[in-house]
Amino acid sequence: MTDNPYAPPAFPATLPPATDDISRHLAGLQYPLQLSFKILALATQATVTDANGRTVFYTKQKIFKFKEHVEIFTDATRATRLAEIKTNKVIDWSARYFFTDSQGQAIGSVGRRGWRSLWKAHYETFNPGDDTPDFSLREENPWSKVFDSLLGEIPIIGLLTGYLFHPRYRASRIDAPAVMHLTKKPAFFEGRFLIEKCGDLTPREELNLMLSFLMLVLLERRRG
């Protein structure tokens, strides 16, 4: 039987030891992860923790700066920077957001799929130096987001939307099964999402998708 030339590369049963900061930081990560957002005064705070409560990354930025430049730290002390997110086209609907590690080396990028994303969120992620999408991020149930956004503006009722509607997104290689899911979870006064891994990924692909989901949630929240 002929091998499929378009299939993703096979991963060894035992991965090689971590050799860079990102690989070392993500070593031993336990899924599912929890992504939580809190609005504090004029700043947005986002934290990702794993199933054991370990902080995967943390960021706290001024609300109006969040889309232009985001610094990602290993924990809430902000002592060690893990990555950065930057874009050069803030007002462009299809702007790309580029991720780099603490040494300035590219991790990857994410961009909204233009007008196709107006109704049903659709983003694409790219590996460094690649203009061909490596992963597709798609919304699975757009009506949940619509009701979550509309009812969220109604006093009292808006407090309950976090318990009623749960938008869900999937990340997959092009024309392949999902490798990661993001699902909104019930929560009061904050945004809480569950990240589940369901496929093989390198450490940098993992972080690329985590940061892509972070930007997806931020951009979709802004869009309403």
Residue ranges of the domains in the chain? Answer: 22-223
pLDDT for the residue 190: 72
pLDDT for the residue 41: 55
Contacts 24+ apart (CB under 8 A), 25-32: 25/56, 25/74, 25/82, 26/56, 26/203, 26/206, 26/207, 27/203, 29/54, 29/56, 29/206, 30/54, 31/195, 31/196, 31/197, 32/194, 32/195, 32/196, 32/197
The domain 22-223 having CATH identifier 2.40.160.200: the answer here is: yes
Q: For a pLDDT cut of 70, what percent of the chain falls above it?
A: 67
Q: Cα(92)–Cα(119) distance, rounded to whole angstroms?
A: 17
Contacts of 106 (CB under 8 A, 6+ apart): 98, 99, 100, 128, 129
Token match 């972070």: residue? Answer: 214
Query: How high does pLDDT run on average in the chain?
Result: 77
Question: Is the pLDDT confidence value at 154 over 70?
Answer: no
Per-residue pLDDT reduced to its tens digit, 53-73: 999 999 987 766 656 788 999
For residues 139-174, one letter each, b for 16 or more C-beta atoms within 10 angstroms of the residue's C-beta and e for the rest, the string is: beeeebbeebbeebeeeeeeeebbeebbbbbbbbbe
Round to the nearest angstrom and report the end-to-end CA distance of the chain: 49
R_g of the chain computed on alpha carbons: 17
Q: Where are the alpha helices (DSSP H) in the chain?
A: 21-26, 142-151, 161-164, 203-223
Q: Cα(123)–Cα(208) distance, rounded to whole angstroms?
A: 13
Which of the two residues, 173 and 88, has the higher pLDDT score?
Answer: 173
Per-residue pLDDT reduced to its tens digit, 82-129: 999 988 666 555 688 999 998 899 999 998 875 554 546 789 999 888
Q: How far is CA 39 from CA 46, 61, 147, in A?
A: 9, 10, 21
When pLDDT is averaged across residues 25-40 and rounded to a whole number, the result is: 87
Per-residue pLDDT reduced to its tens digit, 43-55: 788 999 999 999 9
Which of the two residues, 139 and 145, has the higher pLDDT score?
Answer: 139
